Each structure stands twice: as structure tokens, then as C-alpha cells.
């Protein structure tokens, strides 16, 4: 289906939600996986993280604040996201600035995670060198014994919200003459749509 200006919604979040829903309906494996690109004192870096929804116009994800991505975002709040769903032939790129969610919001989400995921967040010194897999597993088991009922929110773990400056939608077309529409946020807080050459 062509991605045309006169058929695209004025609100990019509507188009994103439509495409995300189509990816889920198409059975895309892990449709909520997105690439997060950051830059810090160690240079640029990219990795996959899980998209946890839209809140007040921001893309939400969670991570360890002491990880490479956390250190990068403490150094430079600018970041980029990429979603790619091959089954629906769609890609979405997002660029903007990131802020931490409140401790309360992070705790609320953390409480919904499976116990194993909670213990992994507590026990894993993400991005740090560890002696072995066995040592890491022992560390998690120790925390499980220490916290048999409720796992506390780690001091170094929580949510982030990326507020877009622009969002680009790409749709595959024949002969590589793809469609690219970019929504840019102007100084008044309104979205402007523009077409990019493929």
C-alpha cells in the first residue's frame, strides 16, 4: 500500500500505532524489539531494547542506568530508535531526547515483571565483565535467597522516555523507489510532514 501524504494521518503516533498493530497481527517475532542508538564518551553504540509503549508522546523503555546505554544517556540525552518489521515491509525511525522516568513509575512497572526478570535485573551488573556464567548465576541465586518474597527495585534500574523531534516512516516499494515520510516537530509543538527521497 503506497504511503502517500494525503492518506497519512496528521498525527504520527496514529500511524505508528497502526503499523505496530499490523506487525503484531502479521505474527512478527518480537514486534516490540527496537534498536536504540546512543553516543557517549566511548563513542556511538547501538543495541536492541524492548518498546514498552507510548506515554505522553514519548517512547518508553527500561534498562540498567549503569550499563553502556545508561552511561551514554547520562553523557548525551540525544538518542535514536529504529523499528523494522520485515513481514509488513515497514521501518520507523525516531530521533529525540531522553529523560529518566520517576522512581515511582519505574517501581510500578518493575512490580509487573516476572520474578526471574526482577532477579536478573537485580543480580546482573549489566555491561560489566563477569568471571563466568556460573558466577553470575550464583549471584542471582544469592539474591533470590535474600529476597524470597518481594524483589526490590534495583537502585541502578529504571525507565526512560524518548521524546521525538522527528519520526520517519519507511515503506518498501518496487524497484527500491521506497516511500519515506518524516514528521518533524516545529517550535509550536505541531507536526510538519515532509517527503524524503529513498
Please, are residues 182 and 83 in contact by the beta-carbon 8 Å criterion? no
Q: Catalytic pick from 99, 163, 176, 195?
A: 176
176 is catalytic: yes
Q: Distance between CA 135 and CA 143 in Å, rounded?
A: 13
Q: Distance between CA 178 and CA 96 in Å, rounded?
A: 24
Cβ-based neighbours of 9, under 8 Å, separated by 6 or more: 15
DSSP 47-91: EEEE---EETTEEEEEEETTSHHHHHHHH--EEEEEEEETTTTEE
Task: Report, as residue numbers or ranges, the catalytic residues.
Answer: 176
Amino acid at each position: 500500500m503506497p504511503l502517500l501524504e494525503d492518506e497519512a494521518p496528521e498525527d504520527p503516533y496514529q500511524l505508528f500505532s497502526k503499523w505496530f498493530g499490523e506487525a503484531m497481527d502479521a505474527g512478527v517475532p518480537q514486534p516490540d524489539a527496537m534498536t536504540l542508538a546512543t553516543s557517549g564518551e566511548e563513542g556511538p553504540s547501538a543495541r536492541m531494547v524492548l518498546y514498552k509503549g507510548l506515554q505522553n508522546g514519548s517512547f518508553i523503555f527500561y534498562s540498567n542506568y549503569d550499563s553502556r546505554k545508561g552511561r551514554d544517556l547520562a553523557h548525551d540525552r540525544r538518542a535514536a530508535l529504529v523499528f523494522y518489521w520485515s513481514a509488513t515491509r515497514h521501518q520507523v525511525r525516531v530521533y529525540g531526547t531522553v529523560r529518566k522516568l520517576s522512581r515511582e513509575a519505574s517501581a510500578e512497572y518493575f512490580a509487573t515483571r516476572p520474578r526471574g526478570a526482577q532477579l536478573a535485573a537485580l543480580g546482573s551488573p549489566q555491561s560489566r565483565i563477569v568471571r563466568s556464567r556460573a558466577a553470575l548465576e550464583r549471584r542471582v541465586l544469592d539474591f533470590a535467597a535474600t529476597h524470597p518474597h518481594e524483589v526490590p527495585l534495583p537502585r541502578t534500574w529504571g525507565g526512560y522516555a524518548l521524546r521525538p523531534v522527528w519520526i520517519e516512516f519507511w515503506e518498501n516499494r518496487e524497484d527500491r523507489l521506497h516511500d519515506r515520510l518524516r514528521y518533524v516537530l516545529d517550535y509550536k509543538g505541531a507536526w510538519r510532514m515532509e517527503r524524503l527521497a529513498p
